[in-house]
């Protein structure tokens, strides 16, 4: 189990949160749940609704779009932010290759964070805008 400081260090490396202060990162870390996944699992499914933001702490994952692997993820990489913020369907399926550890921030937690800590909102939305894929 990651200590709060370890969660903060991990979140600090996520481009979505890189502009956040130490205090803001601490607030995000308090809302993020850590999960151990014993085997390969789908973290997201292309076309489905998005209800969580996921940071890969340990393990690797494939990003699959229209049945084709388009990217590989490793520790520190994250998924789910676009669907979470925009409400649009997931843009890809992400499947871990084996045992993994992840941090999960639910849509409810994310919305609470955006409402309760407005200083985070502008920073996150600016970083998100840079990540939205071109059609």
Per-residue pLDDT of the chain (135 residues; tens, 9 = 90+): 677 788 888 888 887 788 889 999 998 888 899 999 999 999 999 998 888 889 898 999 999 999 999 999 998 888 887 777 777 888 899 999 999 999 999 888 888 888 888 888 888 777 777 766 565
pLDDT of residue 41: 95
Rounded CA gap, 66 and 114, in Å?
Answer: 32
**Cα 37 to Cα 34, 74, 95, 96, 103, distances in angstroms:** 10, 14, 11, 9, 11
3-state secondary structure of 105: strand
Please check whether residue 97 is in contact with residue 61, taking contact to mean a CB–CB distance below 8 angstroms: yes
Instruction: Return the pLDDT at 132.
Output: 63
**How far apart are alpha carbons 80 and 93 in whole angstroms?**
10
Give me the pLDDT at residue 130, please.
Answer: 72
Give the architecture (CATH level 2) of 4-129: Sandwich (2.60)
Give the integer Cα–Cα distance in Å for 121 and 111.
9
pLDDT at 81: 76
What is the per-residue pLDDT for 133? 59
In the sheet with 100-106, reading across from the earlier edge strand, the strands are 33-37, 100-106, 52-58, 78-79
What is the structure's pLDDT at 68? Answer: 96
The predicted pLDDT at position 123 comes to: 83
- Say what the pLDDT of residue 131 is: 63
The pLDDT score that the predictor gives to residue 16 is 79
Q: What is the pLDDT of residue 134?
A: 60
Domain boundaries, the chain: 4-129
């Amino acid at each position: 189990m990651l200590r709060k400081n370890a969660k903060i260090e991990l979140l600090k490396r996520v481009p979505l949160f890189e502009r956040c202060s130490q205090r803001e990162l601490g607030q995000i870390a308090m809302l993020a749940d850590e999960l151990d996944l014993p085997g390969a699992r789908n973290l997201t499914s292309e076309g489905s609704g998005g209800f969580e933001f996921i940071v890969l702490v340990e393990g690797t994952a494939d990003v699959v779009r229209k049945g084709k692997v388009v990217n590989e993820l490793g520790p520190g990489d994250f998924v789910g932010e676009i669907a979470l913020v925009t409400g649009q369907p997931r843009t890809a399926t992400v499947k871990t290759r084996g045992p993994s550890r992840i941090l999960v921030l639910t849509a409810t937690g994310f919305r609470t964070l955006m409402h309760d800590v407005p200083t985070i909102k502008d920073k996150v939305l600016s970083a998100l805008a840079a990540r939205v894929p071109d059609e």
